[in-house]
Amino acid sequence: MCGRFAQRKPSHELLNVARVIVPFTPNVPPNYNVAPTDPAIVIKADPRTGQREGEVMKWGLIPAWSKTGKMDRPTFNAKSETAASSATFRNAFKSRRCLVPVDAFYEWKKLDAKTKQPYAIGRADGQPLTLAGLWDGWKMPDGKWLHTFTILTTTPNSVMAEIHDRMPVVLEEKDYAVWLGEAEGDPATLLKPCPAEWLKVWKVSARVGSVKNNDLNLLDEIS
């Protein structure tokens, strides 16, 4: 799964992973501990122009058909194996796929019945990771639209298998066009674990477990 991540770099650097040229004006401060229901930067193709653009969306997908804007189950992750057929995610999978640029995501390794060790996982070359996401729009009672997103997960590669039995889908740049619907291809073929050598994994402080903690030190490696 992927239940926390960090967007540390300035927005223009995060958006540059997908060569976004459309101006992005929201003043989004760094978030070192993004949690479900938090706002975060995602990249999508504008359905009117086809251009890639950045947008701030709420983490935790609410499908357009929801009557209340609330879901019975968490929707911050979607399983790759079932996203295309799930009532919650299938419409978004068909036509509203997005990219989620992150500096790192966090995962917890179970050490014993009472203890878990958090890890940060980033790209080995220090560049942002680009996670595969889905987005949707829900019309609120006041007529405004709420845009939300989810992150797709898959089976772990050899590095992540040491920590958890799931990991987010990490995309490479050559696949962005297919994932965003700009080029022909089957997006389902991209839903697989990335090569282990892409990733760097390091232990971080248990402070990351509290959403009240949100500072650069959360990404510091501990011995």
Which residues are part of the catalytic machinery? 2, 107
- Judge contact between 142 and 13, C-beta under 8 A: no
Three-state DSSP class for 122?
strand
- Please provide the distance, in angstroms rounded to a whole number, between the alpha carbons at the two ends of the chain: 24
Burial class (CB in 10 A: 0-12, 13-18, 19+), 98: buried
DSSP state for residue 200 in the 8-state scheme: E
List beta partners, residue 46.
Answer: none
Interacting residues of 84 by C-beta distance below 8 A, sequence separation 6+: 90, 93, 94, 188
Between CA 99 and CA 182 the distance in angstroms is: 13
